[in-house]
Amino acid sequence: MSYSVNISVEAPIENQIQEITYDGQEIYQAPLTLSESLAKYAQKIDFSKINELETKKEPGDTSDDSKSDSDSKDSFQSNLWPWDSVRNKLRSALQEVCVLADVLAIAKDKRYMVLDPVQQEPVDTKPIVQMYARKKALAGAANVLLTGAERLKNSQNEAVQNRSNFHFELLRLRQNWRLKKVSNSIIGDLSYRTAGSKYSQPGIFEVTKAEDEEKPSSPPHSPLPGATPSVKSYSALRVTVPSELQGVAYISVLCQKDQEDLFSTNVNLLSSGPSTTNPDVHWQQKLEAAQNVLFCKELFNQLAKEAVQLQAPIPHMVVGNQIMATVLPGIQLIIGLCHSTSGDKKVPASTPAKTEHDHVLEHSLHQLLREVHHRNTHHPFPHPASGPLGPSKKRSLAGPNATDRYDLLEMTKSETLLEQIIKQAQHFFMRIRIGYVLDTIAKEVKDPLICSHWNSLNSPTQSCVKINIITHGYDVVYRTPLVIHIGEKTLKCICRDGKVMHMSYEPQELRDLIFCHINQHQILAVQSLAKIMGWQYLANSLHLGIGSVELLGNASSCILASPNGDRLIAVRCVPSQTGVQVSVAHSPRSDFFLVD
């Protein structure tokens, strides 16, 4: 506060910069001369304003004076001079005109006064350029509006046409199928070659634009693949499939026993199977059907090739569209390819008659070929740059692991599709047979109960069943467990004592084995019951050499003595008979007599 500093504000002495050259030099404007600057400042004075101020002040002063004189006079004066402002204006105008006349008169003489033009700061307004700029801006704005309108129109059109647009359909087609452009046409490929198939038949189809535009007014609806085919869906896209891939195809698997059908399976990748020759069918369904035909053909071709090459004891037969292979003696597996190009409903009419429909073989056949495809494309890692591509991982490790000849020979063996499907069919029959044998025995034999538990986890060619033989009411006393492994043509039975029995596909063998075990179970159950009851166990023989010759195996028996020793019991059990013979002896008497 006390150190107040005087600050002087003044214009910079520097002159205004007119231009800066590229080398940084500044070119200054030349300073105005005295007369020029005077003219400039004088020009800035607005004389009319000053005049007005003066004129305003003058009446104010007078009013002030009159106010001081008397109030009454003031009101009188204002009333007296209603034209006062007009008069003042006129007076000042007159004054100005007089002055102007004087000035003009003086200037005219050019002795005391000279009229000099003052340089105005130029305001370069080029009207042409301005007009052009406006025109351009307007055109830009119009353009934005027009494109917006165009877009709105387009989107509205699209909503109206709703996917019947050819290009939109083509885009959708492109998402699911392989397409390429060959000169002027679009060619697609529906073969499984990219998925690993080596089938030579080409699956080429052509994509064209639909010409028949007679129903553009049909109401738009989404032609989704899952949509019902009954709804006529208009599509701007036409798909032309080669004639050999048209129609519906499926593989039928039929099992025949002595010329009578056991069951049949139809491999049909399309469950509904609408006739694809109908031009109204959507291209997605048409292509799927064609691909299905191709797949079925490849599968059948492969199976037929293998059937001819395989050296089976009973040779496989390939007749026309049918392959016949013997699964088990008397049972034939017939694999047929059904392909109908006519598109009429004749083919589906024959299938519903066979209601016995098993999905297992259908699925297996399908899966087996897919597996082959997968193996063709997926080679085990690593892929050495120098090594061959194709051998299995085991084979490529055979060298460094020093695998011997036997294992190498094993590696070269591979199962064909037909062999695998025959094995699966064999196993299927084995399972049915074993199930039948076990069920009938359980029905026939009431005394020891036979419970069979089928393992839920099994492979297409191997399953396992666990059998428990128990005496009803005494199931804690003794039980005979058996495990049967069912293979393709053989059975393996693991008995209670750890013995392993190998059997063939004949169900009688298993039947005999189980009867033998029932027989053993009876005797052993009697023994363990006797032990609990405190009876003395004297002798036991599972294979009695005495008595009449049995049809099956040997009779077994055991001799028991009562706790106080006055009774003796002999139990005799024969496998072929269901009954059990019991002989009782009183100890005082030495002879045995037959009770039952």
Partner 1 sequence: MGVTVLQQFPIVEQRTGPSTIELLTKRIVALGATQQGQFLVDCETYSSVPQLGAQKTVHVLHNSEQPATVFSILETGSKTIPLITDGLFDLLMMKMSNFYQSKKQTKVESKGPRFEIGDFSVKLGSVAVSQNFKGILVEVEYRPCIVPAMCWDLIREFLQGFLGSSVTSTPPPYLQNKMQEVYTPNDTIQQYLEHFTVYRKSHFKM
Residue of 386, 412, 456, 590 interacting with partner 1 (CB under 8 A): 386
CA angle 227, 232, 234 (to 5 degrees): 100
Q: Which of 402, 457, 549, 594 binds partner 1 (CB under 8 A)?
A: 402
Report, in Å, the least distance between residue 494 CB and partner 1.
23
Min CB(416)–partner 1 separation in Å: 24
Least separation in angstroms between CB 504 and partner 1: 27
The one among 387, 547, 563, 579 contacting partner 1 by CB under 8 A: 387
Interaction between residue 382 and partner 1 (CB under 8 A): no
Q: Which stretch binds partner 1 (CB under 8 A): 203-211, 396-404, 521-529, 531-539?
A: 396-404
Q: How far is the CB of 385 from partner 1 (least distance, A)?
A: 12
Question: Of 266, 384, 269, which is closest to residue 334 (Cα–Cα)?
Answer: 266
Q: Of 14 and 404, which has the nearer Cβ to partner 1?
A: 404
Structure letter (DSSP) for residue 278: S
Of the listed pieces 68-76, 399-407, 526-534, 549-557, which binds partner 1 according to CB under 8 A?
399-407
The secondary structure of the chain in percent helix, strand, coil, rounded to multiples of 5, reads 40, 20, 35
Ranges within 126-155 binding partner 1 (CB under 8 A): none
| Cβ proximity of 250 and 296 under 8 Å | yes
Q: By CB under 8 A, how many residues form the interface with partner 1?
A: 13
Instruction: Return the number of the residue (219 or 399) whose C-beta is nearest partner 1.
Output: 399
Closest by Cα among 483, 555, 495, 484 to 519: 555
Nearer to partner 1, 357 or 383 (CB): 383
Residues 275, 281, 284, 287: is their CA dihedral positive or negative?
A: positive
Contact segment (CB under 8 A) with partner 1 among 5-13, 184-192, 310-318, 401-409 equals 401-409
Task: Render 291-349 in DSSP notation, one character per residue.
Answer: HHHHHHHHHHHHHHHHHHH---SS--EEETTEEEEEEETTEEEEEEEEEE-S-STHHHH
Q: How far is CA 340 from CA 246, 299, 320, 343, in A?
A: 8, 17, 15, 6
Taking the least distance from each CB to partner 1, the nearer of 387 and 563 is 387
Cβ contacts of 582 within 8 Å, gap of 6 or more: 569, 570, 571, 572, 595, 596
If binding is defined by CB under 8 A, does position 115 make contact with partner 1?
no
Q: Specify the residue, 330 or 387, whose C-beta has the smaller distance to partner 1.
A: 387
Closest CA to 285 of 199, 190, 197, 194: 190
Calculate helix-pair angle for 417-444, 507-533, nearest 10 degrees.
40
326 and 332 Cβ atoms separated by less than 8 Å = yes
Q: Is 327:426 a contact under the CB 8 Å cutoff?
A: yes
Q: How far is the CB of 401 from partner 1 (least distance, A)?
A: 8
Query: Toward partner 1, which CB reaches closer, 343 or 391?
Result: 391
Structure tokens that stand for 583 in this block = 């002989």
Residue 397 CB, shortest distance to partner 1, in Å, is 9
Contacting partner 1 (CB under 8 A), which of 268, 276, 332, 396?
396
Q: Single out the residue of 12, 24, 127, 400 in contact with partner 1 (rule: CB under 8 A).
A: 400
Site for partner 1 in 317-356 (CB under 8 A): none
Q: Which two tokens stand for residue 480?
A: 């005979």
Angle at 314 between CA 311 and CA 319, to 5 degrees: 85
Shortest Å, Cβ 454 to partner 1: 36
Question: Stretches 23-31, 92-100, 189-197, 404-412: which one binds partner 1 (CB under 8 A)?
Answer: 404-412
Q: Does 392 bind partner 1 (CB under 8 A)?
A: no
Which residue number, 115 or 402, has a Cβ lying nearer to partner 1?
A: 402
Cβ atoms of 480 and 496 within 8 Å: the answer is yes
Q: Which is nearer to partner 1, 34 or 385 (CB)?
A: 385
Q: Report the residue from 270, 398, 503, 529 that binds partner 1 according to the rule CB under 8 A.
A: 398
Candidates 29-37, 58-66, 74-82, 400-408 — which segment interacts with partner 1 by CB under 8 A?
400-408
Q: Which residues contact 246 (CB under 8 A, 6 or more apart)?
A: 276, 277, 290, 293, 341, 343
Cβ 372 to partner 1, closest distance in Å? Answer: 25
- Label residue 287 exposed, middle or buried (CB < 10 Å: 0-12, 13-18, 19+): buried
71-80 and 47-69 are packed helices; what angle lies between their axes, rounded to 10 degrees?
130
- Of 46, 214, 404, 497, the one binding partner 1 by CB under 8 A: 404
Q: Judged by CB, which is closer to partner 1: 144, or 385? A: 385
Provide the minimum distance between the beta carbon of 402 and partner 1 in the complex, in angstroms, as a whole number: 4
Kindly report whether the peptide bond that precedes residue 382 is cis, defined as omega within 30 degrees of 0. yes
Structure tokens at 393: 């991982």
273 φ/ψ sector (left φ>0, alpha ψ -120 to 50, else beta): left
Minimum gap (Å) between residue 398 Cβ and partner 1:
5
Q: Which of 51, 401, 440, 576 binds partner 1 (CB under 8 A)?
A: 401
Q: Is 413 in the site for partner 1 (CB under 8 A)?
A: no
Which tokens is 318 given?
């390939």
Stretch that binds partner 1, among 64-72, 166-174, 398-406, 578-586 (CB under 8 A): 398-406
CA-to-CA distance for 204 and 188, rounded, in angstroms?
A: 6
Q: Checking DSSP bridges between strand 185-189 and strand 331-340, what pairing results, if any?
A: unpaired
CB of 382 to partner 1, least distance (A): 13
Q: Which residues contact 538 (CB under 8 A, 6 or more apart)?
A: 558, 559, 560, 561, 568
- Which region among 99-107, 239-247, 392-400, 551-559 touches partner 1 (by CB under 8 A)? 392-400
CA distance 547 to 528: 25
- What part of residues 500-539 is at the interface with partner 1 (CB under 8 A)? none
201, 322, 403, 416: residue in contact with partner 1 (rule CB under 8 A): 403
Which residue in 100, 107, 149, 408 binds partner 1 (CB under 8 A)?
408
272 part of the interface to partner 1, by CB under 8 A:
no
- Stretch of residues binding partner 1 (CB under 8 A), selected from 394-402, 465-473, 519-527, 563-571: 394-402
Q: Which of 12, 24, 382, 399 binds partner 1 (CB under 8 A)?
A: 399
- Nearest approach, Cβ of residue 384 and partner 1 (Å): 9
Positions that interact with partner 1 (CB under 8 A)? 386-387, 395-396, 398-405, 408
